[in-house]
Amino acid sequence: MNNIMVNVKNLRDMTGAGFLDCKKALEANDQSIEKSIVYLRKKGLVKANKKSSRQTNEGAIGLYSNEAKTVLIQINTETDFAAKNEVFLNFMNEIGGFALVVDNINISLESFLKLSFRNKIISEYFTDIITKIGENIILSQLIIVPNNDGCMISTYIHNAYKKNIGKIAVVLKSKINEIDEESKILGKNLCMHIAASKPFALSIEKLDKNLILEQFQNLISESSSLVRTYRRGRLIVDGLRVLILGEPNVGKSSIYNELLGINRSIVADVPGTTRDTIESILEIDGNKVTVMFLAGTEQIEIIGTFVIPEFGTIAAMILAVAIISIIAISSKSRLGIMPRY
């Protein structure tokens, strides 16, 4: 193997860049590995900047712990495929392991990215991994929990890609008198329960107002849907109830009999002949319709009404039948065949 190929191999091992990129970098820098590393880093930074506007909706969460502290770190990627990539997972372990030795437990993401680690700052490691994987990759969250106050720390990783990396991570800090095996099992079970419940926030203060509004809107929409389906279900079971109202001696009995197709109500030219409520059941287009008829002397108070869209056709049919009946009865009355009542 000649010196050029050896240099390419060494540069690839040091940077993780592709064969052609390493070859071009060495050619542009007189086979100097040090200059080629700087060259590739600058080139990677350009590529990273081009990808920075891409959305990162996938990723993973790493959980790291020692006697002093527990670290939660979330790194997002563009695709789930990249988040499961072995190169990416090893990268997460490197960053998470470094976070364990950070003294400032309240360090911001910006400050963390500026820290030096193995002769490079953390942001340069992100530039390198973006170049290797070819996706936008960002540090989304870094939470450091101290373990030096005598509390019990329980952890759990759900949908683990590796032992300490997965989709959901839970850290539970509990004040307990005696930390024994039973309390450790309880802590682990509580962590699993928290992961299953998928909480929106750890406290009321940290709840996103927009998220709350969205949940309320969804609840209202679902409730409205339940009300509609409930009314539809009740109408299917109980049917539609129709009440014939009117002044005495205006033809209610005739309309009622015409709807039923039989002479159920007594028809006479004397007002007040109908003294009791009469109720009959019809079937229209497979739907149950209960038609009620009150005496003309009854006092009725209409409190409120609403329209059932599913029964709009039936209501229109009943109204049409009633109108036709009035016309027919009126015509017959003029001929002296049937008095209106």
- In angstroms, the CA 142 to CA 107 distance is 8
What value does the mean pLDDT take over residues 29-36? 82
Q: Which of 109-113, 212-216, 320-324 has the lowest mean pLDDT?
A: 320-324
104-155 residue pLDDT tens = 889 999 999 999 988 888 988 888 888 788 888 899 999 998 887 778 889 9
Q: Is residue 129 part of a domain?
A: yes
> How confident is the model at residue 340, as a pLDDT?
32
Q: Is residue 23 part of a domain?
A: yes
Q: Are 15 and 62 within one domain?
A: no
pLDDT top residue among 191 and 294: 191
DSSP secondary structure, 152-196, as one string: EEEEEEEEEEETTEEEEEEEEEE--S---HHHHHHHHHHHHHHHH
Q: Are 192 and 84 within one domain?
A: yes
How does residue 268 score in pLDDT terms, banded at 50, 70 and 90? Answer: low
- In angstroms, the CA 338 to CA 341 distance is 9
Q: The domain spanning residue 148 has which CATH number?
A: 3.30.479.20
- In angstroms, the CA 127 to CA 42 distance is 9
CA 143 to chain centre: 25
Q: Are 160 and 62 within one domain?
A: yes
Q: Is residue 233 part of a domain?
A: no
Name the domain boundary from 199, 228, 250: 199
H/E stretch holding 9: helix 3-15
Q: Are 76 and 174 within one domain?
A: yes
Domain with 285 in it = 239-335
> Among 89, 176, 106, which Cα is nearest to 143's?
106
Q: How many domains does the chain have?
A: 3
What value does the mean pLDDT take over residues 40-44? 69
> Among 140, 50, 27, 45, which Cα is nearest to 92's?
140
b/e map 307-322, b = 16+ CB within 10 Å: eeeebeebeeebeeeb
157-197 residue pLDDT tens = 988 888 889 988 898 888 887 888 888 899 999 989 888 88
CA distances from residue 19 to 26, 130, 135 in whole angstroms, order as listed: 11, 16, 19
Q: The domain spanning residue 328 has which CATH number?
A: 3.40.50.300
> How confident is the model at residue 298, as a pLDDT?
53
Q: Are 281 and 331 within one domain?
A: yes
- The average confidence (pLDDT) of the chain is 76
- In angstroms, the CA 165 to CA 159 distance is 8
> How confident is the model at residue 54, as a pLDDT?
80
Tokens encoding 340: 């209106």
Q: Is residue 171 part of a domain?
A: yes
